[in-house]
């Protein structure tokens, strides 16, 4: 599925708002990449738990989740994306293979 050019900016804005909330709540707390990966895994686990609990994980079974349940999963996924972005911002030495050679 290709993300619509209309939807993508809205998602990026939601991640930006969540990042502001996290900074306000926790402050700027330096983490190593291992810590960030643990935080990301925990947030992803919460999204997974909500999806399993609400039936959003298996729509083929005919379970129709309520909109509140779907919003919980979505919010957790926004938190996952936000934590991934924070990890990349904080650990700039982590680069994809070839990025440095390509001048990115």
pLDDT, one tens digit per residue, over 61-84 is 665 666 677 788 889 999 999 999
In angstroms and rounded to an integer, the radius of gyration of the C-alpha atoms of the chain is: 16
In a domain, 3, yes or no: no
Note the pLDDT of residue 94.
65
- Per-residue model confidence (pLDDT) at position 29: 82
Q: Does residue 48 surpass a pLDDT of 70?
A: yes
Question: Residue 87: inside a domain, yes or no?
Answer: yes
User: In the prediction, which pLDDT does 17 show?
Assistant: 96
Query: Which structural domain range is residue 63 located in?
Result: 31-94
Closest CA to 83 of 30, 28, 34, 15: 15
Give the global pTM: 0.74
Give buried/exposed letters for 47-77 (b at 16+ CB in 10 A, else e).
beebbeebbbbeeeeeeebeeebbebbeebb
pLDDT of residue 53: 76
Q: Does some domain include residue 81?
A: yes
Residue 48 lies in a domain: yes
Give the H/E segment covering residue 67: helix 67-90
The answer to the question of residue 12 being in a domain is no
In a domain, 68, yes or no: yes
Question: Are 37 and 84 in contact, with CB atoms under 8 Å apart?
Answer: no
The pLDDT, as a whole number, for residue 20 is 95
Is residue 103 included in any domain, yes or no?
no
> Is 77 inside any structural domain?
yes
Count of structural domains, the chain: 1
Region of residue 35 (left: phi > 0; alpha: psi -120 to 50; beta: else): alpha
């Amino acid at each position: 599925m290709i993300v619509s050019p209309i939807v993508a900016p809205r998602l990026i804005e939601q991640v930006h708002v969540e990042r502001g909330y996290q900074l306000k709540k926790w402050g700027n707390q330096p983490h190593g990449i291992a810590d960030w990966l643990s935080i990301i895994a925990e947030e992803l686990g919460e999204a997974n738990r909500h999806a399993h609990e609400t039936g959003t994980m298996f729509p083929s079974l005919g379970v129709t989740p309520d909109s509140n349940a779907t919003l919980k999963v979505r919010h957790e996924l926004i938190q996952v994306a936000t934590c991934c972005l924070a990890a990349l911002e904080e650990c700039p030495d982590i680069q994809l293979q070839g990025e440095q050679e390509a001048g990115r």
